Chains A and B, each alone.
Chain A
């Protein structure tokens, strides 16, 4: 039994994401757009990955599929042991709720609600009713926003808003955290703070990080870079 933690350390044997021959085709009238052509990849638990590539190369499309926001047109995808391709809308919603945390470039907070209520939202969809405020508050404290929990997004800076978004993404203790250009709307100093926060969270709780970015400095801080071009993974 002592072998188990050793096995978890051994990343090769413990993939959280397994994608085989993913393709995504958008049909626009008679024209077909091949956003993803044939992508296979494996990401291990606790890894920090960045996805790079020129605009239109399919980064966001891949991200959406890996985050279970969208289904691939072809191929097989297994997230944390669950084959996703066959699930219906509500089952996908439940997977997203439990296993995936999203951080967006434009924060995407509910503007009418306080930081606390925003962070509570995934807990509500998870059906957690008791101790919800406590859990949400802890998540906000973990991202350094303890004193700001009752502020609305309009009363927070961009960096603080992104911290709220990160707290919200992590509040359900997901297996993976997906960030699509999380620093894209921030200046480089604040962007680096957010990056530090994400890396720190990965170190402390072992959450797998997948970051889409255009910024080579951000990519340089990750353990592995996946490069996309025209819907294919570039071998570097």
Chain B
């Protein structure tokens, strides 16, 4: 029996039961559609999250102090720690160090007042953290030296205080009651995956330390952002920083009073999480594909029962087991192949819609329907059709011709 003929015949018989064929196909359509949509949304989420992690800067290492029961005499991170790490002799792999001190403060303008996160930063902050300005200037080394009363506002903070953004530069606001001149407004970073990064204020580190955020000891700081000289030297830089801090803090081996994350490690964690999420969602979707496959098997079994007499006749006319098996497998595979193709389209549609909704709600996020997931879905759905067709087909092929012909 030639192949084209089997396909024609299978189409004929699927066509004879249009409603049933479409309903059976629907199971596969939904299954494949769900798999495609979930995989593409997962891939979109992954690239969006890793994009925003990479957007923080490049080759970054984050150092913060960490309280631990294992450390008997924990020491905070200090300016001197930062200076030691910035020393090219002690840490040749380190390019820059940006210390920050952070607090939540009230900012007022006229009658408006907002409470927001205020960071004391150094002049290299913008470089290290990939920060750009919408208007105005960054905090300079001199301003840090002079403990100048200047502030840079996030766009949301400016909007909340003034009701507008343009022309905010040059105005005077009060932080903790003290007058500060607005010298710049940050560019929006969007909602991103880490909450709103647009509602905050930046002041010179020295100013914050002396006048706004009181810490004891006074040279204490909250975190250090370190930039390595290159992507390859991130690991060496991490080792150097660990070495310096362990020496300076005189901590015992294995009992550090600080913690170090690299950007890469955060990226890895995020990728692992989104990966697990994608697999999980894809798995749930795959179950619906499985259910679709069982639907095919169910309908094929019904079809075999209904067509017992036809099968008997085909055997009487010389149809071998193989011919009967091919006939039924062709039908089930075609069902699942068509279902799969429609499902790919449906999944693509869903992911496009999800992408549009995400953009509309302010989260730039592009689901990606990869060629690999399309191939996977096509292969998988056809395999489902074949697999779940095998049992009904062999059942048909094993019917005794005499018995089959006698059935009504």
A69 touches B405 (CB 8 A): yes
Question: In chain A, what residue has the closest Cβ to B2?
Answer: A129
Q: Would you call B316 an interface residue if the criterion is a C-beta within 8 Å of the partner chain's C-beta atoms?
A: yes
B318 touches A96 (CB 8 A): yes
| Minimum Cβ distance to chain A for residue B290 (Å) | 31
Residues of chain B lying within 8 A (CB to CB) of residue A64: 402
Residues of B271-318 at the interface with A, using a CB-CB cut-off of 8 Å, are 309-310, 313-318
Residues of chain B lying within 8 A (CB to CB) of residue A90: 320-322
B1 touches A127 (CB 8 A): yes
B5 touches A124 (CB 8 A): yes
Q: Which residue numbers of B lie inside 8 Å of A, CB to CB?
A: 1-2, 5, 12-13, 16, 309-310, 313-323, 400-402, 405
B402: which of A69, A98, A121 is its contact (CB, 8 Å)?
A69
| Minimum Cβ distance to chain B for residue A108 (Å) | 5
| Minimum Cβ distance to chain A for residue B289 (Å) | 30
B319: which of A93, A98, A104, A172 is its contact (CB, 8 Å)?
A93
B13 touches A125 (CB 8 A): no
A121 touches B314 (CB 8 A): yes
Q: Would you call A77 an interface residue if the criterion is a C-beta within 8 Å of the partner chain's C-beta atoms?
A: no
Question: In chain A, what residue has the closest Cβ to B6?
Answer: A124
> How long is the Cα–Cα vector from A112 to B320 in the complex, in angstroms?
21
A126 touches B13 (CB 8 A): no
Residues of A68-125 at the interface with B, using a CB-CB cut-off of 8 Å, are 69-70, 89-90, 93-94, 96-98, 102, 104, 108, 110, 112-113, 121-122, 124-125
| Minimum Cβ distance to chain A for residue B296 (Å) | 20
B310 touches A110 (CB 8 A): yes
A108 with B313: in contact, given A69-B402, A69-B405, A124-B5 (CB under 8 Å)? Answer: yes
> How long is the Cα–Cα vector from A94 to B317 in the complex, in angstroms?
9
A108: which of B309, B400, B402 is its contact (CB, 8 Å)?
B309
A112 with B319: in contact, given A64-B402, A125-B1 (CB under 8 Å)? Answer: no
A122 touches B2 (CB 8 A): no
B401 touches A70 (CB 8 A): yes
Give me 20 other A-B pairs in contact (C-beta within 8 A), A122-B317, A122-B318 excluded.
Answer: A64-B402, A67-B316, A69-B405, A70-B402, A90-B321, A90-B322, A93-B318, A93-B320, A93-B321, A96-B315, A96-B317, A97-B317, A98-B318, A110-B310, A110-B313, A112-B12, A112-B13, A112-B16, A124-B1, A168-B317
A69 touches B318 (CB 8 A): no
Q: Which 7 A-B pairs have the closest CB atoms?
A: A97-B318, A125-B318, A90-B320, A93-B320, A122-B317, A70-B402, A108-B313
Question: In chain A, what residue has the closest Cβ to B397?
Answer: A89
Residues of chain B lying within 8 A (CB to CB) of residue A102: 316-317
| Minimum Cβ distance to chain B for residue A81 (Å) | 18
- 11 A-B pairs with CB atoms under 8 Å apart are A69-B315, A70-B401, A70-B402, A89-B321, A90-B320, A94-B320, A97-B317, A122-B317, A125-B314, A125-B318, A125-B323
Residues of chain B lying within 8 A (CB to CB) of residue A113: 12
Residues of chain A lying within 8 A (CB to CB) of residue B402: 64, 69-70
> How long is the Cα–Cα vector from A172 to B316 in the complex, in angstroms?
13
Question: In chain B, what residue has the closest Cβ to A129?
Answer: B2
From A90, A93, A125, residue with most partner B Cβ within 10 Å: A93
Question: In chain B, what residue has the closest Cβ to A96?
Answer: B318
> How long is the Cα–Cα vector from A94 to B318 in the complex, in angstroms?
5
Question: In chain A, what residue has the closest Cβ to B403?
Answer: A70
Question: In chain A, what residue has the closest Cβ to B406?
Answer: A60
A126 with B318: in contact, given A69-B401, A70-B401, A112-B13 (CB under 8 Å)? Answer: yes
> How long is the Cα–Cα vector from A160 to B316 in the complex, in angstroms?
21
Residues of chain B lying within 8 A (CB to CB) of residue A110: 310, 313
> How long is the Cα–Cα vector from A124 to B317 in the complex, in angstroms?
10
| Minimum Cβ distance to chain A for residue B212 (Å) | 85
Residues of chain A lying within 8 A (CB to CB) of residue B313: 108, 110
B12 touches A121 (CB 8 A): no
Binary per-residue interface labels of chain A (146-163) against chain B in the complex, 1 for a CB within 8 Å, 0 otherwise: 000000000000000000
B405 touches A108 (CB 8 A): yes
> How long is the Cα–Cα vector from A98 to B317 in the complex, in angstroms?
9
Residues of chain A lying within 8 A (CB to CB) of residue B323: 125
> How long is the Cα–Cα vector from A124 to B327 in the complex, in angstroms?
13
> How long is the Cα–Cα vector from A127 to B12 in the complex, in angstroms?
21
From A67, A108, A172, residue with most partner B Cβ within 10 Å: A108
> How long is the Cα–Cα vector from A123 to B271 in the complex, in angstroms?
60
Residues of chain A lying within 8 A (CB to CB) of residue B1: 124-125, 127
From B2, B316, B317, residue with most partner A Cβ within 10 Å: B317
Residues of chain A lying within 8 A (CB to CB) of residue B316: 67, 69, 96, 102
Question: In chain B, what residue has the closest Cβ to A61?
Answer: B402
Residues of chain B lying within 8 A (CB to CB) of residue A121: 314, 317
> How long is the Cα–Cα vector from A15 to B309 in the complex, in angstroms?
32
Residues of chain B lying within 8 A (CB to CB) of residue A94: 318, 320
